[in-house]
Structure 1
Amino acid sequence: MFKDQVDEILQKAIRRRASDILFLPKEGQYVLKFNIMGVAREVAQLPLAYGLQIINYLKFKADMALSEHRRPQVGAYLLEDKDNKKVFGRFSSIGDFLGHESLVIRLIYQETNVNESYFFPEQLQRMQAACAQKGLILFSGPVGSGKTSTMYNLVRSLEKGQVMCIEDPVEIYEPAFLQVQVNEKAKMSYAELIKASLRHRPDVFIVGEIRDPETAQIVITAALSGHLILSTVHAQNAWGVVRRLLDLGVSPTDLQQTLQIIVYQRLLPTREGRIKALFEELGVSEIPWDKLEKVTVRQMTPEWRKKLEKCFYNKWISEETLHKYLKG
């Protein structure tokens, strides 16, 4: 009975194509919310004890420590929709100062028709062409903007040999790839795992994030040695990725030699009630390498505005969405 009730919550979120399921403590109870098209909507209020029971059950499923209620934890669990299609659940929990635990489940869907997930399939084709070369394919965008899904879709389309994924945590279950997870306590950092993975002779790397000088340098070294590497960098737009890597100690010469394309990604709600990805793409030949100090890192490229306005004129998005995303 209890298991059926929890399963119904999960299936209801999947049917509505929610991106997140949130169990949040509030004033002696739990509030259940679904994040749908970027808006967290309340769907139920649960008694405190019952909410905790659900959280413990889901933590058990995701192989998380049941005895820990305050420190942050992450886990994963493979779900299925009504058609038996896999939905990857990424779990994250943390406790507040009162010891009340919250749980967020990120739902990652496997799209049957990848092109239907993008406003302009030609943008994906440009990325695929870049992936046919060796070097760096870099992504930026807010948390939850679909960067990992895009990287996985790109690599699946390549039909390459050995693919090595290094993430913190692993976000998408893909049995065709060799997936390893960062564990700082066990001295398994991004940099250490990349070094160890090079001995496996992978054809392609997916690196969850370049976030420190050591990881940046080992990624550049791997790219210079002839590997294809897809990774993410925290930045507000494509130009910001260049500045961020320079700040991490990457030389302009090495970056110019290894970079193929930078992609800034956002997920926009459509008038049809779906979510689609829009990209800002910056190729290596479009970067003024001799004038990097004059690059305005907070500015989107003109192409972003053109694509966004085309989405509006084609009545794919609302005017509200147009103005909301003009600056990325």
Structure 2
Amino acid sequence: MKIVDTLNSFSNMFCSFITWNRDGRPINSKDKDSPIYNKKAGYGKLMKKLVSLIGYYRFLKCYNQKKMPEILIASHWDMLLLAILMKKNGQLLIYENLDIPTHENLWVLGILRNIEKWALKKADAIVFASRFFADLYPDFDKPQFVLENKPLSVSSICELKYGGLKKPFTVSFIGAVRYGDILVNLMEAIRGDNEIQLYIHGEGADLNRLMTFSMGSSNIHFTGRYEVDQLPKLYMTSDIVWAAYPNKDFNVKYAISNKYHESIQYCVPCIYAEHTRLGDFVKEHNLGYVVNPYSVEDIRECIDYIKNTPEQLYRTRECLKRYIDKEKTWKEQFLPFYQYLISMMKKES
């Protein structure tokens, strides 16, 4: 949606979106006039999704024939497959590589990556949602852009005043509540330690499971859904934010979390998963901490270390504040992409 909104901020552009409402959620008033395919197909149910894709493809094809936009942007590799089937002569097709195809079975993973590689032959350009994705596509010789999901404003809003840690020490998870097994490990690591308070801000598929698991734990709290304008408060009332995802997942190894950009924005360090490109990066630049997300003991040791060395945590926050000038803003990274679109539209006209 950020690409849509940014393109629409230019007077010579109009961009709309088509999406699939897979979980039957209510449509907000802002999007009620947008083309939305309403058919339930629960997440994690691959076969049901594949069957439902036929209906979604027909929906997309009909809209494309009716509107015939000059540019198609396909988000995710499965949408790229549908886009190449409905693309008409003269239309520009851009692959928005939000996530790498991933699967726990290496054989299946190889098949998915080969399907994506074949589909990319039909794409005119690619947009990477992570700077680390580009290394996985050395054979793609068409225009490439990196558009990470950064805040629209990248100026730091934090004030560094060294005064020790919050009491009690506060750990927060902020975002979609998924990867329950990993969050269970986090909860187990701090359970019963009243010097540490854990706040789970958000909602998601694993929320009920985690609430059940936490019963009887007075230092684990759930605050539910939050709005974007609440992010500053959620970060700035935290000593540390949890951003460690399952590093056995192929996509997680190369993805860059929104929390990384938010961490820089608010100068609050995150804990990331070890053996990932992002984890290696933040460790090298002292922008956060890394753990084995599958080890309760490693998580406990990491949090205890942060809690017991407030001067080191303060230095990490200082590094975050200084590093903001080394990161491109959303507008700076978007400009080359916008210029490319303009140049291609002029060629077609």
Task: State TM-score, norm by structure 1.
Answer: 0.31
Higher strand share: 1
Higher helix share: 2
Task: State TM-score, norm by structure 2.
Answer: 0.29
